[in-house]
Amino acid sequence: MLASRPGISHLERAAGFRVRPMNDVDLESILELRAAVRWSADPGAFELLRGFRDARWAVAEAPGGALVGMVGAVPFGGVGVLCHLAVHHSCRRRGLGRRLAGWAVAYLRSQGARVVRLESTPEAEGLYRSLGFREVSRRRLYRLQHPRGGVFESSRYGISPLLVGDLPELYGLDLWSFGADRSRLLQTILRLHPGWGIAARDAAGRMAGYLLRTGRRIGPFMAENDEAARALLSRALAGRGEGPLEVMVPGESPAHGLLEEFGFSGVPDRLRMELGEAPEPRGLSAYGMTPYLAT
Section 182-187 average pLDDT: 94
What residue segments make up the domains of the chain, in order of their start? 14-113, 141-293
Domain at 14-113: CATH architecture: 3-Layer(aba) Sandwich (3.40)
pLDDT at 4: 35
Residue 216: per-residue pLDDT: 87
What 3-state DSSP class applies to 139? strand
**Which CATH fold topology does 141-293 show?**
Aminopeptidase (3.40.630)
CA torsion 224-228-230-236 (nearest 10°) is -110
- Kindly report, residue by residue over 207-257, the tens digit of the pLDDT: 999 999 988 899 999 999 999 999 999 999 886 666 789 999 999 899 999
**Which one is predicted more confidently, 289 or 93?**
289
| Cα dist from 146 to 135, 198, 238, whole Å | 33, 22, 12
Q: Do domains 14-113 and 141-293 have the same CATH topology?
A: yes
pLDDT at 15: 62
Residue 123 has pLDDT above 50, yes or no: yes
pLDDT on residue 34: 81
For residue 281, the model assigns a pLDDT of 76
Locate the DSSP E strands across the chain: 18-21, 56-61, 67-76, 79-87, 115-120, 134-144, 158-161, 197-201, 207-214, 217-223, 245-249, 265-276, 285-288
Confidence band of 107 (pLDDT split at 50, 70, 90): very high
